[in-house]
Amino acid sequence: MTRHIFVLTGAGVSAESGLGTFRDKAGEGIWAQFDPMKLATPEAFAHDPETVLAFYDARRRNLLSAAPNAAHTALARLEATLASAGGELSLVTQNIDDLHERAGSQRVIHMHGELLKARCLNCECVHLWPEDLPASESCPACRTGGLRPHIVWFGEMPFHKDEIEQALARADFFVAIGTSGAVYPAAGFAAEARALGIPTLEINLKAADNAVIFDAARYGPASVIVPAWVEEVTVGLGGKI
């Protein structure tokens, strides 16, 4: 019986909540409208902090007016049902939104950071920051450093590497939901699972760049496919829907 499920989510799980995806719709994704190298790198922030901060202010405001969808809610239900059956859900997200948490997920591993947090450039203290972040803002803790979004930019090391590797090593099922498989190291997790002999499932609107390595796939909107999949899994665990 599946006891420890490792779920990796990407922008597609939040698409139906109105948050942008990055590269899946030709010409419509965030990175089709904005150059990630000018907005999502430490060099871009050093060169033009105001422009980078304004980009994230706009996304933060959009997030605050968004709501979780049925996929987020189903994953929160899966976490609770697995826990009550003595199992475990490792929910790793590439997303910087808080929709998994707002849907009730208790343990969310944000490998690319969080849009509603800011980090001090001097003391590295991380603060909850659900409002605009001006370049002039100083750290509430050390009062000397400036602040940056607590987000992993391109060329920066993703967070929680060891925790993610340990979770993957003890998983008995791997599911990727709403991710294009274009960004590493997240895109490599499915291949790592396969190499560990863990069955893999892709849930996506359409086949991702790394679709070929999955053992199985279910295509359609996450708000439809994820609840149906969670129901199948939790019934097997004696879960209450």
Rounded CA separation 96/101 (Å): 11
Q: Which residue's CB atom is positioned nearest to ligand BV8?
A: 12
Q: Which of 72, 100, 110, 112 is catalytic?
A: 112
The verdict on whether 127 is a catalytic residue reads no
Structure-token pair, residue 113: 């950071």
Q: Which of 5, 6, 7, 16 binds ligand BV8 (CB under 6 A)?
A: 16
Total chain residues near ligand BV8 (CB under 6 A): 35
- Per CB under 6 A, 222 contacts ligand BV8: yes
Q: Which of 26, 136, 157, 162 binds ligand BV8 (CB under 6 A)?
A: 157
Structure-token pair, residue 3: 């006891």
Binders in 87-126 for ligand BV8, by CB under 6 A: 94, 96, 112
Rounded CA separation 89/87 (Å): 7
- Per CB under 6 A, 24 contacts ligand BV8: yes
Helix (H) or strand (E) segment spanning residue 222: helix 222-236
- Per CB under 6 A, 183 contacts ligand BV8: yes
Describe the strand order of the beta sheet including 108-110 as a list of residue ranges: 108-110, 88-93, 4-9, 173-177, 200-204, 216-219
Rounded CA separation 229/2 (Å): 13
Which residues of this chain interact with ligand BV8, rule CB under 6 A? 10-12, 15-16, 21-24, 29, 40, 94, 96, 112, 151-158, 178-180, 182-185, 204-206, 208, 221-222
